[in-house]
Structure 1
Amino acid sequence: MTTNEVKRPTVGMALVPITLALLIFIVGIGVLQFQAELMLIFAGVLFAIFAVLYGHKWVTILTVMGEKIKTALPAILILFSIGLLIGTWMVSGTIPFFVFYGLEIINPSHLYVLAFIVTAIVSTCTGTSWGAAGTIGVALMSIAQTMDLSMAITAGAVVSGAYFGDKLSPLSDTTNMSSLAAGSNLYEHIKHMMYTSIPSSIIAVIVFYFVGLQIDSNPAQVTSIDEMLNGISELFNLNPIVLLPAVIVISGSLMKKNPLIVLFCSAVTAMIVALLFQNATVANLFTSAVEGFNTEMLGVAPDLISEDIQELLNRGGLYSMYNATFFVFCAFFFASALEVSQALNVILEKVITYLRSIGSVIFASLLTGFTVINCTSNALVTYFLIKDIYGDVYKKRNLHPTNLSRSMEDSVTITEALMPWTVSGVFMATTLGVGNFEFMPWAIFNLGGIVFSALYGFLAPYTNSFGIRKLDETVNEKESSQRAG
């Protein structure tokens, strides 16, 4: 083989780098807990060498990587914007306002279930999981920290709620793009997702409710909450005006304005609010936006502020997202080398030849979606790849495109946040302060989607295809409407 001759690997050869990459991820990240960035680089180099051995050029990998970064630039900018938002919302008193009244109103036994419900409402209204987790999610995590509750369970509830809206909101970009890629109507797509979303949500609510009932309030916990309330009230002027930045985010999302513009306007508004109502200088405002908020900015002596309050409030800023942004570049290097090597494509094409039943087709598409999003961290690319691979297979099995679009959401949209080597996974772990593998068992909604999708497929022969929409149903509906007309 010459270096100028491009060839596709055989299935046997393609399995070699795939297996080695899985070992790198599972052992390196999962078992030995090495830095995910370095493991991604190692796996990327592995696929790059494999691609070069089969005739591809190094410059091709760099070109593909550049295209991926170009398409992901809006997400990277949103990543920075969330850091900016957290820092400015802290100095303005917006997040402290939510924390203060949350501590006063919320019963610790109900925090987990409320974390799921409240975040689900916000994400449905805004259509963004990142926005919901980066705003109300941060406040809920702060409340849980003050109440000495499980950060992992709270993070799991926040992630579950955040992706409820990201999956079902007509404002969500992933909801729109998955239906577009599969060729299904947006609202039919959302309606069909109820089959997996409703049971997943019910289970999440039940689990979070009963786990919360096991919480026992103790005097130390009550004292800690009182100290936090006193500390926050001393630091901030908590009047309703500080909610204005949050109102801008929700209103802008509902009006379908550009998210970057909305987040920036909210951050600027928060800075103005901080200047008018908090004891902050102009220099403090910019420092909060870039380096993150610090309680010392508000003119209170550090020795008068407890370490718990400082740990709770000192966060945010553009710098807080630098590590996550660097991770994006590592992830796209890996994804580019994988794509050019063609190793995954060869294996998937072989797998399709063995698919016979509805259950096997749906399960294979779910597994493929989960695998590809973990390899690419790019939902849009994954959607269209899944459509190219499984579109005709679904049609041959008389399956409506809404089944495919639902499988995309259940295996791609809501699972990406669970793994520490994906862009969304890094964002959630960084923003909420809890490792992915720690909150993953409690991200019940995210786990439920792929489980129920697979169950409907495998049980179709015994349930008269409950939860599965057939293509001939669409034909019958059109004929009925024509007769009625």
Structure 2
Amino acid sequence: MKKETTLMYALIPLLFLIGSLFYAIQIAHIDVHIPILVSAFFAAGVAIFGLNYTWNEIEEGVVETIKMALGAIIILMIIGMVVGTWIQSGVVPTMIFYGLKILSPGIFLPATLIICAIVSVATGSSWTTAATVGIALIGVGEGLGIPRHIVAGAIISGAYMGDKLSPLSDTTNLAPAMAGTDLFTHIKHMLYTTVPSFIISIILFGFIGTKYTGAALNTEMIDGILSTLSGNFNISPLLLLVPVIVIGAVIMKVPAIPGLFGGAILGGIAAMIFQGASLATVFSTLHYGYEGESGLEMVDSLLNRGGLDSMMWTVSLIICAMILGGIMEKTQMLETLALKILSVAHTTGNLILVTILTPIFVNSVAGDQYLAIVVPGRMFKGAYEEKGLHPKNLSRSLEDAGTLTSPLIPWNTCGAYMIATLGLAPWTYVPYCFLNLINPIVAIIYGYTGFSIEKIEKKKVEAEAEV
């Protein structure tokens, strides 16, 4: 006979997970896959020996949970193909080229925000944006006498704005999968919180940047990127038709998987037409990603990426996290934790509040943005259904907090990466990550005012999930 899953039994695996990840990230500096898997089997041991579950029951829960993420996993694999062919075709280089063209001395900080957002939307990666264009912009900013940590705030704000809204981003695909909605419904719903936060950020950076108006802009690094891009790719506005067509397909409600796969194929066709690539090269890029030698290391590190293989690290991490989540859900550990947290969430506003605070907590103690989306997503899904709230409200909240606060925490993988890549001192840049700070606050305000919080009948939610 099974025992009741008390708070103590639910906390033991959670505390073990926190300890394992802390050791892996802060002490051993190793990948998080194995600690998560070890924590999953530790949770299974607690369930078997402490709660009298059988392995067959636990395995059933794991398989069912992984099934829920298969749609996102397929999309991620296709996204890797899209990234590869869009780089090879010149689509991404063209977007970066025209984005860099908008630089002007008087609006450097707002322009930095916008450029990083454009590059991040195009690539689906905040990390790649920071490590390439971000590094160049740091140099330009210092040439203008703008402190590094202020420029970094604009870079991180823009990079995560683009990452959050890009259909090529892994977290943007993961959040709706956890909540039970589709990718493009999720992206459209995020506009309500992201656009106002982005506009406020532009205004704040514009205000700060007024003191640098009239300064001479040192564009040596930017010119190097522009000349390298134009020297290695046929830059043409016609290439922008590829993303326009894909966006048009989204507006026409084409499902994500065939729509994105079509984008990958269009990218391959454009590569053959505009860049003279062979069919064999396109096929290789779809699998292994784009590989080129431009003569400028910064450009190579930005563009040598993509392909189906590039997503396997993320796919494997998601599967590891879903194994842990499946065990904790099947054994009612997540439910026990959620009920404890939800005991204070009697209203929609309180529910949104705890949904925002929980990913921040997971980002702080576990140090990984994927877990900050997966764990709260699995915990709160039922609560949103019971309150008749559309699952897109949950997926949006997961990204408003889980994705955006990850670079603000120095010991989080994202925070540590930004500090190392941009050459920052911990915490100094955080006050200037305006979008990352404002967006969760906007989400909480919406929760209490009811603005953009869409309700839906439970039967309709189930019907949409099946579709």
The aligned counterpart of 2:148 is none
The aligned counterpart of 1:94 is 91
Offset, 1:327: 0.8
**Contact persistence 2:239–2:270 (CA under 8 A):** yes
Q: Secondary structure at the match of 1:415?
A: helix
Q: 1:72 to 1:273 in 2, by over 3 A?
A: same
Offset, 1:42: 2.3
Q: Secondary structure at the match of 2:101?
A: helix
CA distance in 2 between partners of 1:379 and 1:253 (Å):
28
The aligned counterpart of 1:238 is 235
**Contact persistence 1:157–1:208 (CA under 8 A):** no
Q: Does 1:282 align with 2:272?
A: no
TM-score, normalised to structure 2's length?
Answer: 0.70
Q: CA RMSD in A?
A: 4.9
The aligned counterpart of 1:331 is 321
**Contact persistence 2:80–2:311 (CA under 8 A):** yes
Question: Which consecutive unaligned segments of at least 5 residues does structure 1 have?
Answer: 124-129, 167-171, 297-301, 392-400, 458-465, 470-485
Q: Does 1:23 align with 2:23?
A: no
**Contact persistence 1:241–1:273 (CA under 8 A):** no
The aligned counterpart of 2:297 is 307
**Contact persistence 1:48–1:61 (CA under 8 A):** yes
Offset, 1:358: 8.9
**Contact persistence 2:110–2:205 (CA under 8 A):** yes
Q: 1:257-309 CA deviation, whole Å, 9 max, x = no partner?
A: 1122122212212211221221322222122221111225xxxxx7xx23233
CA distance in 1 between partners of 2:347 and 2:258 (Å):
47
Task: Write out aligned runs for 1:119-198 (5 A).
Answer: 134=124, 142-148=132-138, 153-163=154-164
Matching residue's letter, 1:467: T
Offset, 1:82: 1.6
CA distance in 2 between partners of 1:220 and 1:205 (Å):
20
The aligned counterpart of 1:394 is none
Q: 1:413-465 CA deviation, whole Å, 9 max, x = no partner?
A: 42232559xxxx999999xx979x999887644543444555788xxxxxxxx
Q: 1:104-157 CA deviation, whole Å, 9 max, x = no partner?
A: 22337756645666888x99xxxxxx9766289977975434444667752432
Offset, 1:216: 10
Offset, 1:324: 0.8
Tell which deviates more after alignment, 405-414 or 229-238. Answer: 405-414
Tell which deviates more after alignment, 408-417 or 213-222. Answer: 213-222
Instruction: Tell me which of 225, 228, 238 is aligned to 1:228.
Output: 225
Q: 1:446 to 1:164 in 2, by over 3 A?
A: farther
Q: 1:12 to 1:263 in 2, by over 3 A?
A: closer
Matching residue's letter, 1:291: Y
Tell which deviates more after alignment, 269-278 or 12-21. Answer: 12-21
CA distance in 1 between partners of 2:279 and 2:26 (Å):
44
Q: Does 1:37 align with 2:38?
A: no
Structure with greater Cα Rg: 1
**Contact persistence 1:160–1:443 (CA under 8 A):** no
CA distance in 1 between partners of 2:399 and 2:416 (Å):
16
Task: Write out aligned runs for 1:410-449 (5 A).
Answer: 411-418=397-404, 419=406, 444-449=434-439
Q: Secondary structure at the match of 1:105?
A: coil
Matching residue's letter, 1:154: I
**Contact persistence 1:271–1:285 (CA under 8 A):** yes
Offset, 1:339: 1.3
**Contact persistence 1:113–1:157 (CA under 8 A):** no
CA distance in 1 between partners of 2:450 and 2:234 (Å):
54
Q: 1:247 to 1:426 in 2, by over 3 A?
A: farther
Offset, 1:97: 0.9
Instruction: Tell me which of 339, 346, 359 is aligned to 1:349.
Output: 339
Matching residue's letter, 1:325: V
Q: Does 1:51 align with 2:50?
A: no
Q: Does 1:319 align with 2:291?
A: no
**Contact persistence 1:69–1:329 (CA under 8 A):** yes
CA distance in 2 between partners of 1:277 and 1:209 (Å):
37
Q: 1:211 to 1:290 in 2, by over 3 A?
A: farther
CA distance in 1 between partners of 2:174 and 2:319 (Å):
22
CA distance in 2 between partners of 1:442 and 1:331 (Å):
32
Q: Secondary structure at the match of 2:449?
A: coil
CA distance in 2 between partners of 1:63 and 1:151 (Å):
46
Q: 1:71-93 CA deviation, whole Å, 9 max, x = no partner?
A: 21121111112211111011111
Length, aligned pairs only: 415
Q: 1:260 to 1:218 in 2, by over 3 A?
A: farther
Q: Does 1:85 align with 2:85?
A: no
The aligned counterpart of 1:61 is 58
**Contact persistence 1:245–1:269 (CA under 8 A):** yes
Instruction: Tell me which of 3, 8, 12 is aligned to 2:8.
Output: 12
In percent, how many aligned pairs have the same letter?
A: 25
Offset, 1:230: 2.0
**Contact persistence 2:129–2:159 (CA under 8 A):** no
Q: 1:245 to 1:220 in 2, by over 3 A?
A: same
CA distance in 2 between partners of 1:278 and 1:349 (Å):
56
Tell which deviates more after alignment, 65-74 or 306-315. Answer: 306-315
Tell which deviates more after alignment, 366-375 or 249-258. Answer: 366-375
